[in-house]
A and B are shown apart, each in its own frame.
Chain A
Amino acid sequence: MSVKNDQPDMNRRKFVGTTVAAAGAVVVAPGVLLHTVAGADPESRGASAKHRWGMLIDANKCAEGCSACVDACNSEHGLTGHDRPATDAQWIRAVKLKDNSTGHINRLVMMCQHCEHPPCVDVCPTGASFKRTDGIVLVDRHICIGCRYCMMACPYKARSFVHEDLENQSVNAPRGKGCVEGCTMCVHRIDRGETVTACQEACHDTGHGAIVFGDLKDPDSEISQALKSQNSRQIRADLKLNTGVRYSNL
């Protein structure tokens, strides 16, 4: 039997209020906790605009028949192919060139040029293609929808689309079927505080030393010194993208 009373039921209000507060706390607390944990890890502090990572590749030192950097990149990032060169991913490739007017022959390696003004980032509809504050251009595999517009826009053919199932992925570079990917400048190493990329290391170990990697914003770094002392150029400099990868003796 119900009691007729025109006073509001205060107990019920209190109950509703407490329930809402408790539910709110349960929803928010894990996020706060995870944020604290994430912030405590020095490796996750993120990129800093105090650096701009770049490379200088000496075309004269890039040796005929050598594939050390390509192999190193493949094993570092778990890029296993299916023997289908048209669809297999290639983050770095060797190219042999002949000058049309002089006949001079050059060899060099091509990869993502990590532009200051990357066309891939401009065209990406979801913002999956992005540039870190330290100049490294990456693809966020969580929001890449696989539209491949970035591949249409890149003047360097630097990106690959993952055309088939992936196995035995490397922890260094999680990949995703149906997403686009490319050179990360070994961002996993940089975020650990290392300043040597897999390709540079391999090139150095073979004794060729054609690749110099480093901080373009640090005037004392090896790469800054090298760029200051010798002539270098950007590929497709006419597009004014201000690439992070430079070439000498080209």
Chain B
Amino acid sequence: MSKMYYRELYCGTPVRYWAGMALLGTIVAIALGAAFYMEHNGHWVTGMTNQVVWGLPHVFAIFLIVAASGALNVASIGSVFGGPMYKPLGRFSSLLAIGLLAGGLVVLLLDLGRPDRLIIAMTHYNFKSIFAWNIILYSGFFAIVGLYLWAMMDRKANRYYRPIGFAAFFWRLALTTGTGSIFGFLVAREAYDAAIMAPMFIIMSFSYGLAFFIITLIAAYMWGDRELGDLRLARLKNLLGVFVGAVLYFALVFNLTNLYVTQHHGVESFILLNGGVYTAMFWIGQVLIGGVIPLFLIYSPAFDKARWAIAAASMMVLIGGFFQIYVIVIGGQAFPMSVFPGKEVLESSFYDGTVGAYAPSLPEMLLGIGGIAIAMTMVAVGARMFKVFPESLEDPGESA
């Protein structure tokens, strides 16, 4: 195998790069404006209410945070599991992970009722709260992945590469366990309260993170006019197929388990049969767009090395994943909480027993999209400043 040379990414012409940055900057600025609008007026201008307390920003934030830990997998395969084909991709994998996490956290922070109290969140801890653990897990992730990146890029630090690689791998597993447990530990709501949430979120992160990785990798090599070999992409593609199948499997087990428990029949029929928009999002969004079609694009011999099919499959995995998180976060809240089991609520001023209404507002959407733009900005700046991308990723044996 030829020696790898890494070089800063110059996207063809300076105009191309700076125009891209200007576009991302504009999207981020709009998102910050939207966040200011929501904070200034209060949350009543959003679709969120006292019934559906977490809205679209949480969907974006959780989606990005879950994807972030998954994006690190490519680096982990290179260092923890010793895959030579993946090792040159490790630097970009780490950079993307940091970017996605930062984007998700900005959205989460700006949707707080009091984002100005970030310092309180960093200094007051209730260690029984999974949120408090997550604050530590997220901060630690930045530190560990930063060190990981350093160990990969600095020859002098190379001896720390493997131990840090292991640490990063275990830390990312802990992080996604924490994210899944936000829902897994909620006894009050029937749609949550299941230990399977944690491993399910881990497998979701594998899938979304890799999909993000593939798309951004193809895009970066296209913009940078660099060589990206088919063999490496095929490896990534096949791995994505396994992950997509695993996500479907976990969704199946999760719902089958619930269907066995009579108490959960209500919430199951809400998600699977008569939940209106949530049912449609589950079947069309999560299962069809996010599962069945990508599997077809990935495994059908007709699209063997078709790059558009790989990109399309990755994009659909992301869209389906977004719907999956939407169904979990919003659908789970919209389903009425069983405050009075065995009773039907005839009257209530607080919407007891009725399906929570939620329609996302434009500012929420803009804030969420801003989170993706922040992630991409960090990747674009990082790739330009550091030697993250190999000069060429042509297949081994072609040059040597």
B-binding residues in A (CB < 8 A)? 70, 82, 84-90, 93-101, 105-106, 110, 119, 121-128, 143-149, 151-157, 159-165, 176-180, 235-236, 238-239
Contact = CB atoms under 8 A, between A and B. Distances in A.
A152 B182 CA distance: 10
Contact of A100 (B39, B113, B121, B344): B344
Given A86-B49, A101-B342, A145-B113, A95 B347 contact: yes
B252 interface: no
Given A152-B186, A153-B188, A122 B129 contact: yes
A94 B347 contact: yes
B129 A125 contact: yes
Most chain A C-beta atoms within 10 Å of own C-beta, residue among B118, B130, B189, B340: B340
Nearest to A129: B126
Contacts of B182: 149
A87 B49 contact: yes
Given A152-B186, A161-B53, A178 B39 contact: yes
Interface string B324-348: 0000000001000101111111111
Nearest to A127: B126
Interface in B126-157: 126, 128-132, 134-135
A158 to B, nearest CB: 9
A108 to B, nearest CB: 9
A152 B223 CA distance: 44
A229 B341 CA distance: 26
A10 B391 CA distance: 66
A119 B112 contact: no
Given A100-B342, A126-B124, A239-B187, A93 B53 contact: no
18 contacts: A85-B350, A87-B44, A87-B49, A87-B50, A93-B349, A93-B352, A95-B347, A95-B350, A98-B343, A119-B186, A125-B121, A127-B126, A145-B112, A147-B131, A153-B188, A164-B43, A176-B114, A180-B113
A165 B53 CA distance: 18
A127 B135 CA distance: 14
Contact of B348 (A95, A99, A106): A95
A127 B125 contact: yes
A152 B113 contact: no
Interface string B171-192: 0000000000010011111000
Contacts of B44: 82, 84, 87, 163-164
Interface in B106-127: 112-115, 117-118, 120-121, 124-126
Contact of A123 (B43, B118, B130): B130
Interface in B24-72: 39, 41-44, 48-51, 53-54
A162 B114 contact: no
Nearest to B132: A125
B129 A163 contact: no
Majority secondary structure, B binding face? loop
A105 B54 CA distance: 33
Contacts of B120: 126, 143, 145
Give the most central of A85, A88, A93, A147: most B CB within 10 Å.
A147
A86 B51 contact: yes
Nearest to A154: B188
Contact of B346 (A88, A97, A156): A97
A96 B345 CA distance: 6
A165 B341 CA distance: 36
Contact of B128 (A85, A90, A106, A122): A122
Between B39, B124, B333, the greatest number of chain A beta carbons within 10 A of the residue's beta carbon is seen for: B124
A178 B350 contact: no
Nearest to A142: B120
Contacts of B189: 152
A106 B39 CA distance: 40
A239 B337 CA distance: 14
A100 B338 CA distance: 13
A143 B117 contact: yes
A177 B113 contact: yes
A235 B189 CA distance: 15
A105 B187 contact: no
B50 A123 contact: no
Contacts of B18: none
Nearest to B351: A86
B339 A157 contact: yes
Contacts of A100: 342-344
Given A126-B120, A148-B53, A155-B339, A162 B352 contact: no
Contacts of A119: 186-188
Contacts of B130: 123
